[in-house]
Amino acid sequence: MKIIALEEAFSVPGMATAGAALHQPTRFRPSVLAEFERRLPDFNELRLKDMDEHGVDMQVLSLTNPGVQMQPDAAIAVSDAQLANDVLAGVVQDHPTRFAGLAAMPLQDPAAAVRELDRAVNGLGLSGVLVNGHTLGHYLDEPRFRVFWEALAGHDVPLYLHPNSAPLGWSVFEGRPELIGPTYAWTIETGAHALRLICAGLFDQFPTAKVILGHMGEMLPFHLSRVDTRLSYIDSDVKLAKKPSEYFIDNFHITTSGVMATSALLGAVLAIGIDNICFAIDYPYESSTQAIDFLRGLPLSDADLGKIAHGNAERLLHLG
């Protein structure tokens, strides 16, 4: 079975921006961090070996969190995104059957991001973009980013919305730092970010725009019915043409990155359909062994398993 993993991280030494969540406050053990640091900038040795050992045909690479999103100098964000995207394109060019790429976007300057999007897709041959959550506290439903969404829809490539490791400042996590980050906090914020896009009417304005959410859709597939009912009782400043759940099914895909639970996968299939789900490992932050064992053990037909393992990603990212 062909396997494409859709959320696989890399770093670029030499960026002016500290390009890894590892440079943020963390509760991970030093030995774990050291292994992440060893694997993130590597493409040709550790990464390909891991892929071969586990039967992964292709990784779709993206600049690790927080990428360029927390760079306060817009000019530096632009140059760092260009550097990261050039490195990524070179890796894809060297190994076109093993790697594809999602470009970093310097949304500090939306007009520059539009230019970099065009360069990344038309010039470098990358397959979409990945944005690490908010950009300096600004979320993607804000009017300033409409020009970027217009360009994204025009290029017919998806935006992977990944969490941002910048501290949230929510009092509910005070005294419980183990809940900050990927354990739980990232899921809440990224899910809320996705719902902002829906509630702002973004997909009425850009009905062909596509967003990818990792980590089993940041658990939103299991909350959509409640969002539908609660919002039906609220007079919002934006009148939506459809239910929130309908936008999610029409405009979103999810990946399995970091959630290796058969119950969650089957629930997502029932909630949003098999055609909207793609496989991901979240290398090097998750175990390839566990992720592949989870995929191969799913109680699905060969046809449905093939959609999750590679078919949906090929269609979404125009691969192959």
Is residue 18 over pLDDT 90?
no
* Backbone angle region of 105, left / alpha / beta, with phi > 0 → left and psi within -120 to 50 → alpha: beta
Question: What is the predicted pLDDT for the residue at 22?
Answer: 44
Least confident stretch, 5-9, 33-37, 115-119, 287-291: 33-37
Q: Are 120 and 148 in contact, with CB atoms under 8 Å apart?
A: no
Q: Are 12 and 41 in contact, with CB atoms under 8 Å apart?
A: yes
Q: pTM of this prediction? A: 0.96
Catalytic residue at 282? yes
DSSP label at 238?
Answer: S
Least confident stretch, 69-73, 127-131, 207-211, 262-266: 69-73
Question: What is the predicted pLDDT for the residue at 318?
Answer: 97
Position 76: which residue type?
I
Q: Does domain 4-317 have CATH number 3.40.50.880?
A: no
What's the pLDDT band for 152 if we cut at 50, 70, 90? very high
* Backbone angle region of 119, left / alpha / beta, with phi > 0 → left and psi within -120 to 50 → alpha: alpha
Which one from 282, 293, 302, 304 is the annotated catalytic residue? 282
Identify which has the larger pLDDT, 166 or 48. Answer: 48
Per the DSSP assignment, residues forming a β-bridge with 10 are 63
End-to-end CA distance of the chain: 15
What's the pLDDT band for 25 if we cut at 50, 70, 90? low
Position 103: which residue type?
A
Task: Kindly report the backbone phi and psi dihedral angles of residue 289, in degrees, each rounded to the nearest multiple of 5, phi listed first.
Answer: -60, -50
Is residue 81 over pLDDT 70?
yes
| Arithmetic mean of pLDDT over the chain | 94
Is residue 257 over pLDDT 70?
yes
Task: Kindly report the backbone phi and psi dihedral angles of residue 278, in degrees, each rounded to the nearest multiple of 5, phi listed first.
Answer: -125, 155
Least confident stretch, 45-49, 186-190, 303-307: 186-190
Query: How large a percentage of the chain has pLDDT more than 90?
Result: 83
